[in-house]
Amino acid sequence: MEFTHLPPSMVEYLDALARAPEPPEELRANFLRVVEELGAWTSLESGFTISQEEEADFENLRASLQRLAGPAVVDTLLEESYAALRVMREVEAGRARAEYARDPLVNGVILCGVAVLQGRGEIEALHRRLPALRGYGQAVREMLHFHQPQIRPEVAEAFETGLNSWDAAVDGLQQGERLQASLARLKEAAEIVQHLVDYDRRELAPPILRIPRLGQALDFLLETQQREMIARLLDETVPDFDRFWERAQQSLVAPEPERSEWLEQIWHLADALVEELKRVGEGAELEPLADICSQMSDAFVTLTSLAPDSTHLRGTQAGDYYTYMSGLLRRTLPAHGIPNLLRLSPPPAAWSAVVAALEAFRLSGDGHEIRQGMLEILRLCPPVEGALAPDFWNCPYCGKLMAVGERTCAHCNATPGLADLEAREFLA
């Protein structure tokens, strides 16, 4: 089954509205903020179209957004939320298929430029994309400077030439002169730049500290002892970790009481980490900080190793239920849709505990019920002995699929459990 995942702020409001006619105003405000963001995306992306079908898609999307800002009727809002997100993903998928460049940002700029040449786009829509393109070029130039000592001089020179051509193409697009030639120049430069980006990804070592959102920054701090980066860590990186982990811990499925015990330990270490970062910023030695980082990393490795493997469920009814329940925990799928799941894919009689967990969650929103239901699915549907190992792993924190051999999740920077990684490494 295909599921359309929604932004968590939309799901939280829709679930609250389904349970009570007047949910907290804060949830409504968060819902409308997402609608505004969808409107901003629509305004930017509808500045050009690649087909008549896309024009119709944008018209439908605008209509859905108007209804989403209207009366708080849960069935209507849920239907229009799904409709809006489906259209967005259809537009993105259609533009990805019309590939001029592997990088989505570059591909979007070239698509827009071509649409302008064909009379299907506004020059202002192209200009709105250029600051991001220029910033990307600057980031890749910094990447080149970082890798330059390890690259042969003639290769580094080729990369430098490609980046200079990139900058000249962006300047040409900004000035609106020789638009077609500037687009062709950007496409050629992007092909060169992509080789450098690919090289960077191959050479990027996995973090020593297995701490999502924090591991690489803490590795760098402990290796370089650049204390000036502590302020940014405390102001940006640590709050980013807090926001991520506040949600991610809810979706982590593992047996109790071990799960709760390790979660408590991680939060305790996170508090200690902040205090020690402050001390180091004031001149304290790094050894106590390194010790806390090591303990926190070990805690994440242990907690992650407790998360059961569900990859064998993919493509089965049990996999559909497990995916939906995972979406419930992450607040990307609404509890209001549970009756439809049960109706469209009736569960076997042996799944009574799973159904009970779904119904309990629909009424209360208690994630513990869903986690127990997911463990029950895994108990009822164990891996088939002798089956081929899958060529992917599920990130236990964000649920994204990653290829075997990828040592970190590209979405949230988490790492697979050590046992999982060691068992699969020979397949890479």
Q: Which of 203, 231, 259 is the last residue of a domain?
A: 203
Is the same domain home to 37 and 90? yes
- Considering the domain boundaries, does residue 312 fall inside one? no
Where does residue 92 rank: exposed (0-12), middle (13-18), buried (19+ CB within 10 A)?
Answer: middle
Name the percent of the chain lying above pLDDT 70: 89
Give Cβ neighbours of residue 35 (< 8 Å, ≥ 6 apart): 65, 68, 69
pLDDT score of 294: 96
- Tally the C-alpha atoms within 13 A of residue 130's C-alpha that lie toward its C-beta: 21
For residue 225, tell me if it sits in a domain.
no
| Domain edge (last residue) among 51, 75, 97 | 97
Spatial neighbors of 228 by CB under 8 A, at least 6 apart, are none
200 pLDDT tier (thresholds 50, 70, 90): confident
DSSP-assigned letter for residue 226: -
pLDDT, tens only, 73-117 = 999 999 999 999 999 999 999 998 988 999 999 999 999 999 999
Q: What is the mean pLDDT of residues 333-341?
A: 95
Which pLDDT does position 146 carry in this prediction?
86
How big is the chain, counted in residues? 428
* Cα gap 316→320, rounded to integer Å: 6
61 and 150 belong to one structural domain: no
- 218 belongs to a structural domain: no
Residue at 123 is within a domain: yes
Please check whether residues 136 and 60 belong to one and the same domain: no
Q: How far apart are CA 244 and CA 251, in angstroms?
A: 11
The 10s digit of each residue's pLDDT in 69-84 is 999 999 999 999 999 9
Q: 373 lies in a domain?
A: no
- Is 201 exposed, middle or buried, given 0-12, 13-18 or 19+ CB atoms closer than 10 A? exposed
Residue 404 has pLDDT above 70, yes or no: no
Same domain, 177 and 151: yes
Indicate whether 35 and 115 sit together in one domain: no
169 domain-assigned: yes
pLDDT at 201: 81
Co-location of 88 and 148 in the same domain: no
pTM (predicted TM-score)? 0.80
Residues 118 and 89 in one domain: no
- Give the pLDDT confidence score for residue 416 in this predicted structure: 45
Measured CA to CA, the distance from residue 7 to residue 85 in angstroms comes to 9
Domain boundary among 154, 179, 203: 203
Q: What is the mean predicted confidence (pLDDT) over 32-46? A: 95
Reduced 3-state DSSP string for 112-162: HHHHHHCCCECHHHHHHHHHHHHHHHHHHHHHHHHHHHHCCHHHHHHHHHH
Instruction: Report the domain count for the chain.
Output: 2
Whether residues 196 and 108 share a domain: the answer is yes
pLDDT-derived band at 420, boundaries 50, 70, 90: very low
Give the residue numbers spanning the domain of 196: 104-203
Do 67 and 113 fall within a single domain?
no
**pLDDT average, residue stretch 397-421:** 51
Domain presence at residue 333:
no
In a domain, 414, yes or no: no
Residues 90 and 13 in one domain: yes
Residues 29 and 108 both lie in one domain:
no
